[in-house]
């Protein structure tokens, strides 16, 4: 017996409703509430598809580094959840859920990945909560923000904060800086302003367009570039503007110098915080404005004695002292301009630079043990281990030549074992291996 047409429609509709309700009950529900999600093989794919940006910690319960990272992730999750483009933090016990570990090629703990629209990217950035938030905030931002009003410009600058330099292209097309914005995305914020008032021009102190304004809010610095806007000229300006005019040297700021090939005019003062030093820094900034081919930096003997001592500075040395450093193991003293007297310091800085450019210098090498400390802080311990690996490989190759029998080759004594060497070849910082 056939059911009436109306009954068939009712039955079919009821069935669809039942299936949709059943599906809704079975689909995992996630909330952006500032808590770290615990994922497993039953809900991992659903979480990845639910959120545009999800940061995943693949960990093992026995891993000491994972245990230290966990509270940092808890703190970061709260701040990342309230961003305009929220980032969710999740963790997976990859030791227990081996299928997921195998799928995402997890071979060390912790392994960190950020999934952007479902696509995983390895994360090798900082792990402290505040630095993690800063980094991920930049990571998920648009390459170039397009600003269409004065209020949009103000909101962009406020949201960007003070931790990275900010570039605003007034009257520039997005395409003019998009390639460089991608290249330097992890180091700066980029935007173009299409509509703005005369009041904004006055506030940012430019009088014509196009103009690219660089802001270093952390150092209360601003510069303006009026072109030419060919890629080479534009990139040169951006690279030079990634650093403030006078960079205070500490263990964090040293890392900013790693990718800059310019020589560093380093001024060593007694105490960065005293008024005489602050006055000298203002003069260094003025010199930096006229010498873009050099980086200007300063460090206080009181603030970082070990670093200062690497340049033949002691408690008996007359400070301030200026040298030119290559950022590695070599530096130059300028003959007759070893120290800076209190009077007419601006002229003394000019004479120092003139002497350096004329080649009136004495080349020296850093030999102190303290150099190892700041070298590691610049390049990371991974780079040092990589050097050891190269030495190890060369030694092994020489041994193979001397002793053809493969079974007889012994690894030389080294602080890096073969298993550690294999791990160090990875660009990340995963300290615990899977057994």
Q: Given 66, 89, 168, 308, which residue is catalytic? A: 66
Residue 341 among the catalytic residues: no
| DSSP helix/strand/coil, 54 | strand
Burial (CB < 10 A; 0-12, 13-18, 19+), residue 358, is exposed
Instruction: Please report which confidence band the pLDDT of residue 435 belongs to, taking 50, 70 and 90 as the band edges.
Output: very low
- Tell me: the pLDDT tens digits for 210-241? 999 999 999 999 999 999 999 999 999 999 99
Name the phi and psi angles at 298, rounded to 5: -145, 155
In whole angstroms, how far apart are CA 159 and each of 32, 163, 174?
Answer: 20, 11, 20
Distance of CA 134 to the CA centre of its chain: 9
Q: What are the φ and ψ backbone dihedral angles of 134, each rounded to 5 degrees?
A: -60, -45
- Using alpha carbons only, what angle is made at residue 366 by residues 362 and 369, rounded to the nearest 5 degrees? 160
* Residue of 63, 92, 247, 264 marked catalytic: 63
Which tens digit of pLDDT belongs to each residue from 272-309? Answer: 999 999 999 999 999 999 999 999 999 999 999 999 99
C-alpha span between 28 and 45 (Å, rounded): 10
- Give the pLDDT of residue 140: 82
Q: How far apart, in whole angstroms, are the C-alpha atoms of residue 23 and residue 43?
A: 14
The answer to whether residue 22 scores a pLDDT higher than 50 is no
* Position with higher pLDDT, 242 vs 371: 242
Query: pTM for this one?
Result: 0.69
63 is catalytic: yes
CB atoms within 10 A of CB 84: 9
Q: Is the pLDDT of residue 6 over 70?
A: no
167-222 confidence digits (pLDDT tens) = 999 999 999 999 999 999 878 999 999 999 999 999 999 999 999 999 999 999 99
Cα–Cα distance measured from residue 332 to residue 365, given in angstroms and rounded to the nearest whole number: 9
| Residue 46 to residues 18, 27, 54, 81, 408, Cα–Cα distance (Å) | 21, 8, 12, 18, 52
> For residues 16 and 18, what is the distance between their CA atoms, to the nearest angstrom?
5
What confidence tens digit (pLDDT) does each residue in 384-409 have?
A: 444 455 556 555 666 665 554 333 33
Quote the pLDDT of residue 321. 96
Q: What is the mean pLDDT of residues 48-74?
A: 94
pLDDT at 126: 82
b vs e for 172-184, b when ≥16 Cβ sit within 10 Å of the residue's Cβ?
bebebbeebbeeb
Q: What is the chain's mean pLDDT, rounded?
A: 82
């Amino acid at each position: 017996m056939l059911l009436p047409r109306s009954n068939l429609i009712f039955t079919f509709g009821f069935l669809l409703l039942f299936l949709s309700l059943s599906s809704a009950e079975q689909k995992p529900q996630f909330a952006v509430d500032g808590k770290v999600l615990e994922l497993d093989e039953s809900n991992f794919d659903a979480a990845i598809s639910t959120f545009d940006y999800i940061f995943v910690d693949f960990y093992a319960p026995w891993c000491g580094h994972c245990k230290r990272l966990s509270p940092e992730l808890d703190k970061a999750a709260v701040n990342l959840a309230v961003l305009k483009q929220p980032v969710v933090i999740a963790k997976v016990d990859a030791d227990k859920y081996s299928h997921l570990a195998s799928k995402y090629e997890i071979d060390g703990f912790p392994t960190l990945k950020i999934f952007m629209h479902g696509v995983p990217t390895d994360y090798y950035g900082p792990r402290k909560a505040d630095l993690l938030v800063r980094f991920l905030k930049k990571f998920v931002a648009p390459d170039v923000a397009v600003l269409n009003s004065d209020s949009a410009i103000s909101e962009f600058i406020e949201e960007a904060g003070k931790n990275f330099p900010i570039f605003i292209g007034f009257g520039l097309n997005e395409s003019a800086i998009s390639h460089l914005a991608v290249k330097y995305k992890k180091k700066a914020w980029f935007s173009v302003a299409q509509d703005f008032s005369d009041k904004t021009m006055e506030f940012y102190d430019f009088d014509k367009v196009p103009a690219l304004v660089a802001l270093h809010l952390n150092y209360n610095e601003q510069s303006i570039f009026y072109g030419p806007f060919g890629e080479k000229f534009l990139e040169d300006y951006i690279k030079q503007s990634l650093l403030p005019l006078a960079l205070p040297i500490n263990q964090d700021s040293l890392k900013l110098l790693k990718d800059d090939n310019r020589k560093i005019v380093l001024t060593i003062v007694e105490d960065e915080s005293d008024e005489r030093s602050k006055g000298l820094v203002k003069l260094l900034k003025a010199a930096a404005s006229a010498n873009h081919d050099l980086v200007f930096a300063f460090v206080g003997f009181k603030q970082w004695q070990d670093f200062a001592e690497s340049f033949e500075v002691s408690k008996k040395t007359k400070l301030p002292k200026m040298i030119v450093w290559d950022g590695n193991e070599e530096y130059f003293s300028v003959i007759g301009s070893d120290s800076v007297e209190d009077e007419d310091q601006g002229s003394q800085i000019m004479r120092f630079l003139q002497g350096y450019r004329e080649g009136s210098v004495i080349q020296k090498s850093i030999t102190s043990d303290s150099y190892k400390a700041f070298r590691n802080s610049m390049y990371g311990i991974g780079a040092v281990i990589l050097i050891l690996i190269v030495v190890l490989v060369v030694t092994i190759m020489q041994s193979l030549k001397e002793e053809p029998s493969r079974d007889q080759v012994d690894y030389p004594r080294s602080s890096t074992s073969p298993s550690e060497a294999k791990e160090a070849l990875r660009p990340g910082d995963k300290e615990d291996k899977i057994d």
